[in-house]
Amino acid sequence: MIPFDFEYYRPESVGEAVQLFEKLDRLGKKPVYYGGGTEIISMGRMNNIATGAVIDIKAIPQCTAMELQDDHLVMGAGVTLTQIHEANYFPLLAQAASRVADHTIQNKITLGGNFCGTIIYREALLPLLLADSEMLIAGPKGEKNLPLDQVFNQWVMLDKGEFIVQVRVLKPYLSLPYRHVKRTKEDKIHYPLLTICAMKVDDQVRTAFSGLCDFPFRSPGMENELNDKTRPVEKRIENALILLPCNLPDNLEGSAAYRKFVLSSLLASILTELEV
Amino acid sequence: MEYISIGKDVTRKDAWEKVTGRARYTADISTPDLLHGVLVTSTCAHGNIKSIDYSEAMNMPGVRTILTGDYYPVLTGSVLEDRPPLAAGKVRYYGEPVALVVARGEAQAAAAAAKIKIYYETLLAVNSPAEAMKPDSPLVHERPEQYRKVIPEVYPEAGSNIVHHVKIRKGDMNKGWTDSEVIVEGSYAMPPADHMAMEPRSARAEILPDGQIIIHTSSQGPFAVRKLISQHFGVELGKVAVHVPLVGGAYGGKASLYLEYLAVMASKAVDGQPVLIRNTREQDMAGAPGKLALEAKIKLGAKRDGTLTAGEYSFIVGTGAYADTGPRMTNSMAMNCTGPYQLENVWCDAYCVYTNHTYATSFRGFGHTSMTFAVERTMDKLARALNMDPLELRRKNAITPGATSPTRLKLTASNLGNLPACIDKLRQLIKWDEGQNMAVGNNRIRARGMACFWKTSNSPTDAFASAVVVFNSDGSVNLQVGAVEIGPSTKTTLAQILAERLKLDIDQVHVEMEVDTRHNPHDWKTVASMSTFLVGRAVEKAAEDALLQILRIAAIVLRRSPEDLALDKGRVYVKDNPDFYLLYADVVHGYKYTNGNTVGSQVIGRGSYIMPHLSPMDKETGEGHPGPYMTPGAQAVEIELNTSDYTYRILRAATVLDAGRVINPAAARGLVMGAMGMGLGLGSREAFIYDQNQQLQNTSLRTYKVMRIGEQPAYLVDWVETPNLISPFGARGLAEHGILGIHAALVNALSLAAGVEIDQVPVFPELIWKKIEEQKT
Amino acid sequence: MFQLNSEGLINLEVNGEVRRVLVRPADTLLFALRERMGLTGAKPGCENGDCGACTVLVDGWPVKSCLMLAVEAVGHKVTTIEGLDNAPIQKAFVEKFAFQCGYCTPGFIMNCQGLLDLHPDASDEVMHEWLQSNICRCTSYQEITEAVRSVLQQAK
């Protein structure tokens, strides 16, 4: 039960959505784009979010599209995690998506919502960080296709009024060797102690992490160390961990020391399994 | 003997309403005139309330009134009256109700609640039972000794956080230690946790113009609600009506009053209009009472052959910010402190102390769950010290008839049951002799651990229940009892007992799920796994009363004396000529002759039963008779530990308990398995986590985890049936017992597999890793 | 474009019947079902998407109705436990004693029903994955697993 009021809009085109945002913003409604809404509703109940209007993007055809086109896979921001899992075009993403929250909520959480949420884990981003993916962003200045690393650095960086319409991944990445490991404090349905997605591209391992910092990340520096085949695996991991972009956290999910133990052993098995 | 209903997997009477969504719980019944109450709870664990600013909230749309502690200052409690329903002057735990907004709509009330500003002067908080015992500890209550005692046997100590102290002094400790050839000691910690009934607590109250108070609530004790509301609001008992529809899980957590006081206050403040308060999950976890904390030390002495010679037990029970049933649970732990083992020399000091955590109330096991963990971990340590099979050690010391309990109660086969038989059956069931610690390759170790338990109720010495059996003209009956259906199939079990006694088909016994204190006869509370016994006996007596009436009428019609008649399958017949009979339907509303004359009248059976021979525990020695009978049992858990990362799986979990007589095997198995699941949850993941300011960190199911499907082991359940002679068909309580030793069995297995002693719960993989790291250094 | 600016009437198709319902745009589907339509089978257990007691089917897929706005359901088909009519899974829950207090039961059954409709050949692994979205505090889950398996087997 959400104690405050807001208006609800369900536009049917990208243009309509963008115009609506601008109009509502001018009226001081502090509008937000609305995907699955799971986070907006749960935060709304706790008064942890304030908005006067939500713009539901799920009736916009581009946002709910998911198909293979020419050389790439297109996924709308309004596609649910379950749809991604069931279609299984991109098995690594399918697997990562199937471990966010729980299965029923995956029927509601959208790809765009997972990217833009405030919960720090945003695990559906990890495979996309590895796959040189692109995002189609719409906003007051029109639509633009941008490489993910230009849109994402710790957070998805969107200007006011912009929203993610689609994500694109080049076909070859869909079938590269990969590993996905999510570890929790104990329960399967829980926030990650840490999640690792790994992909082998041209004999090099790429890795992206969630649960290690307040944001999901991929670190070229760490990858260099992990791929340094002149050293034994333990040394490569040790060197990579020095380059972590933050201090490992001590929180309800686990201590920093335990995270380090789990991370090291998981990286060791991933490197072995992917033969890098 | 061939039974009609007893021992059969009778379909639950509430089955179809529950699988169709038609089952109604307290908050399901909404009327357009309903106002809604929303609580504002403390964000401070210990502090003085400096001011509460609700001026903005008061002007929000739909708001009718806002209550704070000064609106109706009253202190409540079932043992010691120490708790104001709304904090007065001071808050003592994070989540404590401080203000209550009453508004037309629930969203309006919540919107206003968010605007209330409360300013606290923070005080140092007491963070654990051990801290509470320190002489320089902050005081949670300034003058606990001045609170009104509801029962005489509670002993709060001035100038301390001690609410209660109970002692067991049995035998000769000097002799016990002298006789000991091996001595082991252990210290254990079990954190507070939550009942986590899927239905959050809710209550609704209205006050009629003539002063009648009508309450609907999710409670295990409608008659206790009636009594306490009557007492605290100065309304005659008969003018309080308490309705309890189906309750969505309770596990002890809905046995004491919480929202009921607040709902009545709220209604009082709005001229008696109906007000519903329903807890959010967060409020239900942080605010409403939970499970106690325990810090225990146990020292056991034994001869080299394993015979126990002495036991010293120290329990510090954290009851949180208020006493509630904490002192009773402390008694409960002390009175059964040895676990189900024969031990002549026993010394126990159990303290119940205040802390600045959510207060504790009865929780499945009533203290035994935590106590058993400490006892059974120590038994495993003793087995290790003796180099003895832990099962053999327990088998050797298993208590048998002729011995006495720690409270010096003489034990018989009837009041004790047969633990050795349970252990023997468990040994087969879990295949104990295949080994307890086995490497199975691929960094995996499989290990088995076990534990034993016993438990009796610790009830008021005058706890009673009644039953009324009303015959319908078709020969079927309506059974009226005061027991609440909180989940264990109580009403179906009682219907089975009645059907059996009346020789009726179970379908001819009608029960209603709702309890209304004006329609239903009294019941102490639906707690302590006592309903089959306590209410069951009342049902039996009511059945007997009804049958006498049937026989009296039938004797006239059949022109024989009542002793010449017998009953079966809804018929009353002449013993020497079964073809000469009447149907119940012919007589239960009076027998009508062809000429119109009628003899007899409606058959209505009455029965009431009070627990026999109970007496409180002596203040200095603990001697007494606090509970009616024991249910003993033995449990085992098999786990698989991955030694590369210390994750583990629970593969199998087994319980064999002495059920006396199993009334409904399918329902009973379900209860035992469900309780085992809850215990495995406590052992593996469940605990309240407090930060350094004693603010509760995990107030939702996102962060407080319970077992989910697929995480459960294969459950194995079997019975021993040693009749309990005072109970219907010999039945013993069993609804909570599956929880008692299962976490101890789990941790015994994990300790064995990991090669470290783990003396706390819950056991996360990280804890095993930490223990192993500590051992390395 | 569909929109609702303030409290107003919307059409919701629930259990095959289109009903006109007064809601605020911020009201959840759970609220609308319970408080506006009297369909109290869906239960509030956490209103945070964690427990699954409020699960209903939306276009055949299980959804936690506490995490869906009532307005979002406009144009979709909602099925609640009240919309099942003697479904095999209901009978299986009765026969296997797959509930005790019954509070989580409607949500569990709706999730099971969704699974049985969409994946009638589900493996244990898939069943667990789906049903891990729901919490039952009374049973051991063994009973629920047996109930679902018995219906899956009938389907096979």
pLDDT in tens, C17-52: 999 999 999 999 999 999 999 999 999 999 999 999
pLDDT at position C155 over 90? no
Mutating which of A43, A107, A188 best tests the C interface, going by the most C Cβ atoms within 10 A? A107
| Closest residue in B to C135 (Cα–Cα) | B708
Contact partners for chain A, using 3 or more CB pairs closer than 8 A, are B, C
CB atoms within 10 A of CB B131: 20
Name C69's bridge partners.
C28
pLDDT at position B723 over 90? yes
Q: What is the mean pLDDT of residues B452-465?
A: 94
CB spacing of C105 vs B28 below 8 angstroms? no
Residue type, A136: L
Residues 56-115 in C contacting B (C-alpha not used; CB under 8 Å): 80-82, 84, 90, 93-95, 97, 99-106, 109
Burial class of residue B566, CB neighbours in 10 A (0-12, 13-18, 19+): middle
Mutating which of B18, B650, B742 best tests the C interface, going by the most C Cβ atoms within 10 A? B18
CA distance C56 to B156: 51
CA distance A160 to A158: 7
Three-class DSSP category at B668:
helix
Q: What is the mean pLDDT of chain B?
A: 97
List, as one string, the DSSP characters of C29-74: HHHIIIIIT--TTS--S-SSSSS-TTEEEETTEEEEGGGSBTGGGT
Q: Shortest CB distance from B765 goes to which of A3, A186, A188? A: A186
Q: Shortest CB distance from A47 goes to which of B114, B697, B710? A: B114
Residue type, B615: S
Which residues of B lie inside 8 Å of A (Cβ-Cβ)? 106-108, 110-111, 113-114, 644-645, 684-685, 689, 697-698, 702-703, 705, 708, 710-711, 762, 764-766, 769-770
- Using the structure block, give the residue that is written with the tokens 């059945």: B543
- Condensed to tens digits (0 to 9), the pLDDT of residues B337-369 reads 999 999 999 999 999 999 999 999 999 999 999
Q: Shortest CB distance from B706 goes to which of C40, C41, C137? A: C137
CA A2 to chain C, closest CA, distance in angstroms equals 6
Q: Shortest CB distance from A1 goes to which of B110, B644, B685? A: B110
Q: Give the residue among B631, B647, B653, B632 at the shortest CA–CA distance from B744.
A: B653
pLDDT at position C145 over 90? yes
CB B254 within 8 A of CB B219: yes
Name B572's bridge partners.
B567, B582
Q: Shortest CB distance from A189 goes to which of B107, B689, B708? A: B708
Q: Give the residue among A215, A270, A269 at the shortest CA–CA distance from A244.
A: A215
CA distance B279 to B281: 6
Mutating which of B12, B20, B254, B676 best tests the C interface, going by the most C Cβ atoms within 10 A? B20
CB atoms within 10 A of CB A59: 18
CB atoms within 10 A of CB A252: 15
CB A256 within 8 A of CB A247: yes
Q: What is the pLDDT at residue B487?
A: 97
pLDDT at position B300 over 80? yes
Q: How far is CA B365 from the centre of its chain?
A: 6
CB B280 within 8 A of CB B102: no
Sequence-distant (6+) residues with CB within 8 A of A268 are A233, A234, A237
Percent residues over pLDDT 70 in chain B = 100
CB A132 within 8 A of CB A98: no
Q: Shortest CB distance from B197 goes to which of C47, C137, C145? A: C137
Q: Which residues of B touch A42 (CB under 8 A)?
A: none
Q: Which residues of A touch B103 (CB under 8 A)?
A: none
CA distance A39 to B711: 27
| Closest residue in B to C50 (Cα–Cα) | B701
Mutating which of B764, B767, B772 best tests the A interface, going by the most A Cβ atoms within 10 A? B764
Q: What is the pLDDT at residue C153?
A: 87
CA distance B227 to B482: 14
CB B541 within 8 A of CB B609: yes
CA angle C136, C139, C145 (to 5 degrees): 85
| Closest residue in A to B110 (Cα–Cα) | A3
- Helix (H) or strand (E) segment spanning residue A217: strand A217-218
CA distance B400 to B423: 13
CA distance B681 to A5: 39
Q: Is C32 on the interface with B (CB under 8 A)?
A: no
Question: How distant, in Å, are the alpha carbons of A38, B364, B662 from that of B719?
Answer: 46, 20, 8
Name C55's bridge partners.
C64
CB spacing of A252 vs B710 below 8 angstroms? no
CA A124 to chain B, closest CA, distance in angstroms equals 19
The pLDDT confidence band at residue B631, using thresholds 50, 70 and 90, is very high
| Closest residue in B to A254 (Cα–Cα) | B766
Question: How distant, in Å, are the alpha carbons of B48, B297, B448, B744, B771 from that of B751?
Answer: 44, 18, 10, 10, 10
Number of Cβ pairs < 8 A linking chain B and chain C: 164
CB B63 within 8 A of CB B108: yes
CB spacing of C100 vs B678 below 8 angstroms? no
Residue type, B497: I
Q: Give the residue among C93, C91, C85, C69 at the shortest CA–CA distance from C15.
A: C85
The pLDDT confidence band at residue B50, using thresholds 50, 70 and 90, is very high
ipTM > 0.85, yes or no: yes
Contact partners for chain B, using 3 or more CB pairs closer than 8 A, are A, C
Q: Is C150 on the interface with B (CB under 8 A)?
A: no
CA B712 to chain C, closest CA, distance in angstroms equals 7
Sequence-distant (6+) residues with CB within 8 A of B699 are B95, B281, B282, B285, B286
The pair of structure tokens assigned to B741 is 């030793």
CA distance B680 to B747: 10
**What is the per-residue burial (b if ≥16 Cβ within 10 Å, else e) of B242-271?**
bbbbbbbbbbbbbbbbbbbbbbbbbbbbbe
CA distance B736 to B251: 8
What pLDDT tens digit does each residue of chain A (276 aa) get?
999 999 999 999 999 999 999 999 999 999 999 999 999 999 999 999 999 999 999 999 999 999 999 999 999 999 999 999 999 999 999 999 999 999 999 999 999 999 999 999 999 999 999 999 999 999 999 999 999 999 999 999 999 999 999 999 999 999 999 999 999 999 999 999 999 999 999 999 999 999 999 999 999 999 999 999 999 999 999 999 999 999 999 999 999 999 999 999 999 999 999 999
Phi, psi of A241 (to 5 degrees): -65, -25
CA C111 to chain A, closest CA, distance in angstroms equals 8
Which strands, in side-by-side order, build the sheet including B308-320? Answer: B162-170, B346-354, B308-320, B293-302, B182-190
pLDDT at position C154 over 90? no
The pair of structure tokens assigned to A183 is 């570890």
pLDDT at position B1 over 90? no
Question: How distant, in Å, are the alpha carbons of B312, B338, B615, C82 from that of B334?
Answer: 11, 8, 15, 49
Phi, psi of A68 (to 5 degrees): -85, 125
Number of Cβ pairs < 8 A linking chain A and chain C: 94
Handedness of CA B280, B283, B288, B293 (dihedral sign): positive
DSSP letter (8 states) at residue C82: G
CB spacing of C134 vs A104 below 8 angstroms? yes
Tell me chain A's radius of gyration from C-alpha atoms.
19
CB spacing of A41 vs C28 below 8 angstroms? yes
CA angle B381, B383, B387 (to 5 degrees): 120
Q: Shortest CB distance from C141 goes to which of B487, B669, B712? A: B712
Contact partners for chain C, using 3 or more CB pairs closer than 8 A, are A, B
Mutating which of A47, A120, A185, A186 best tests the B interface, going by the most B Cβ atoms within 10 A? A186
Phi, psi of C149 (to 5 degrees): -60, -40
CB C54 within 8 A of CB C44: yes
CA A149 to chain B, closest CA, distance in angstroms equals 31
**What is the per-residue burial (b if ≥16 Cβ within 10 Å, else e) of B647-668?**
bbebebbbbbbbbbbbbbbbbb
Question: How distant, in Å, are the alpha carbons of B194, B452, B680, B740 from that of B745?
Answer: 21, 9, 9, 10
CB spacing of B766 vs A190 below 8 angstroms? no
pLDDT at position C156 over 80? no
- Condensed to tens digits (0 to 9), the pLDDT of residues B518-550 reads 999 999 999 999 999 999 999 999 999 999 999
Q: Is C128 on the interface with B (CB under 8 A)?
A: yes
HEC per residue, B541-606: HHHHHHHHHHHHHHHHHHCCCHHHEEEECCEEEECCEEEEEEEHHHHCEEEECCCCCEEEEECEEE
Helix, strand, coil percent values for chain C (each to nearest 5)? 40, 20, 40
pLDDT at position B777 over 90? no
Three-class DSSP category at A57:
helix
- Using the structure block, give the residue that is written with the tokens 């596990």: B251
Q: What is the pLDDT at residue B74?
A: 97
- Helix (H) or strand (E) segment spanning residue B657: strand B648-658
Q: What is the pLDDT at residue B2?
A: 85
CA distance C132 to C135: 7
pLDDT at position B175 over 80? yes
CA C104 to chain A, closest CA, distance in angstroms equals 15
pLDDT at position B18 over 90? yes
Q: What is the mean pLDDT of residues B720-727?
A: 98
CA distance B264 to B272: 8
